[in-house]
Amino acid sequence: MKILVTGGAGFIASNVSDALINEGHNVVIVDDLSGGKMENVNPKAKFYKMDIQDAQVENIFRDEKIEVMVHHAAQMDVRKSVADPKFDASVNVLGFLNLMEFGRKYGLKKVIFASTGGAIYGEQDYFPADENHPNRPLSPYGITKLVTEKYLFFYKEVYGIEHVILRYANIYGPRQSPHGEAGVVAIFTSKMLNGEQPVINGDGKQTRDYVFVGDVVNANLLALQYNGSNIFNIGTGIETDVNQLFHHLKTHTRSSCEERHAPAKAGEQMRSVISSKKISEALGWKPTVSIEDGLKITVEYFKSKK
């Protein structure tokens, strides 16, 4: 199958691209390398260095005869979205529409979309949140993800393009960057291995649902086989707080750093955890990598890159 992976030089999408290639698919990657790295791009993929807002994207759909798009390219910095909502919307909404308008013109059949489980639900009414939980995004980033989901419904109803929306929890693992709007796992691991002091915001009791990237890759492969359109959470249903995470990583890195706290970040969500019962029943997906094993694999990756 001819598959376009947007953001394919980035952390999650590069891992997805590798798996698609291993499954025998013909993969095309578009990435402007603003956050991704060329070293993440599989040599068997065809690569276009391009912004998804560029009009030249039309050439990719026209020339490559794309059947499926796995859409991960995004402005993913939540704080940046708050500071500059117009830029966030230009990438995450207008960039997406640029892709879809050319996609429908040249025969795109299906979209697998990397959405967000934490930012879409906002402060939760119940734990873990399922797909029926009210959507109350607290950031422009979460709003643009929700808007994209609504546009996908439009493209299905009007143009017959199927979609599978994957609402990710907090993903970590090999290739995650410790720079910019990075995950706490990558930041803490990098600092510990470099002999620096990580800082925990607030009391460290804020929880997240941490999912290993390999499990996320498997969810994408199952989504490719799914017939029809749907929305699925991709999470473990298990809460891990930042203090627990710190001590797991301290053990794996053999760091001598102390547990040090700083003032809490204003507006930070205290609890976020999502249920993946729906995709488990529909596609048989379950997270297979425990937080302990996943963090160990991640630390070994960071060590190999030092």
Quick check: 273 and 128 in contact, CB under 8 A? yes
Domain residue ranges of the chain, discontinuous segments joined by + = 2-170+210-234, 171-209+238-305
Closest CA to 213 of 11, 7, 5, 9: 11
In the chain, which ranges are continuous DSSP H helix?
A: 11-22, 57-64, 78-83, 85-89, 95-105, 118-121, 140-159, 184-193, 213-225, 242-253, 277-283, 291-305
Quick check: 117 and 149 in contact, CB under 8 A? no
| pLDDT given for residue 266 in this prediction | 81
Residues 6+ away with beta carbon under 8 Å from 163: 110, 111, 112, 113, 152, 153, 155, 156, 229
Centre a 10 Å sphere on the Cβ of residue 57 and count the other Cβ atoms it contains: 22
Sign of torsion, CA 200 269 163 81?
A: negative
Residues 6+ away with beta carbon under 8 Å from 64: 2, 4, 28, 46
pLDDT band at 178 (very low <50, low <70, confident <90, very high): very high
* Rounded Cα distance, 3 and 220, in Å: 12
Quick check: 74 and 114 in contact, CB under 8 A? yes
| Cα Rg of the chain, angstroms | 19
Q: How far is CA 131 from the centre of its chain?
A: 17
pLDDT digits (tens, 9 = 90+) for 74-131: 999 888 999 999 999 999 999 999 999 999 999 999 999 999 998 999 999 999 999 9
| pLDDT given for residue 79 in this prediction | 85
Is a pLDDT exceeding 70 seen at residue 180? no
Q: Select which of 48, 141, 155, 168 is catalytic.
A: 141
pLDDT digits (tens, 9 = 90+) for 149-158: 999 999 999 9
Cα distances from 203 to residues 75, 206, 240, in angstroms, run: 29, 8, 14
Q: Is 256 helix (H, G, I), strand (E, B) or coil?
A: coil
Residue 141 designated active-site: yes
Using CA atoms in the order 120, 240, 298, 76, what is the torsion angle rounded to 10 degrees?
A: 20
- The one-letter amino acid code at 21 reads I
User: Do 2-170+210-234 and 171-209+238-305 fold alike per CATH?
Assistant: no
- The one-letter amino acid code at 135 reads N
For the chain, percent helix, then strand, then coil, each to nearest 5?
Answer: 45, 20, 40
Fold of 2-170+210-234: Rossmann fold (3.40.50)
Q: How confident is the model over 268-279, as a mean pLDDT? A: 95
* Rounded Cα distance, 248 and 69, in Å: 36
Quick check: 209 and 215 in contact, CB under 8 A? no
pLDDT digits (tens, 9 = 90+) for 191-204: 999 999 999 999 99
Fold of 171-209+238-305: UDP-galactose 4-epimerase; domain 1 (3.90.25)
pTM: 0.98
